[in-house]
Amino acid sequence: MTARGTGRRRDRRPLDCAQVAGALQGFVDGEIRPRLAARVAEHLGCCAWCGFEADAYREIKRALAHHEPVDRAVLARVRAFAESLLNEEAPPRGG
């Protein structure tokens, strides 16, 4: 038997919230690679925090596409999210 028991190498490592935040704009715009997009989507499916952020990006994108003013509440949400990333290393886990 080998002493090393840490042989769990996955090529699909889950993204953390900071990584998702960095890729989110490209994800919403459809500008990132499909494989990365799938991983972002997977994260969004299980992380309400980032799902919230993605919704905000989509709302901004939709408003811009229709030449409508962006909802101020959405902008406030995005700002709060960004500040929370700066203030905390990890968002609260929802279980």
Residues that bind Zn ion (CB under 5 A): 17, 47, 49-50
Residue closer to Zn ion by CB (options 17, 56) is: 17
- Closest approach, Cβ 77 to Zn ion, in A, equals 15
- Closest approach, Cβ 85 to Zn ion, in A, equals 10
CB of 61 closer than 8 Å to CB of 71:
no
d(C-alpha 16, C-alpha 48), whole Å: 13
Residue closer to Zn ion by CB (options 22, 35) is: 22
Residue closer to Zn ion by CB (options 46, 64) is: 46
- Closest approach, Cβ 42 to Zn ion, in A, equals 11
Of 87, 28, 85, 91, nearest in space to 62 by CA: 28
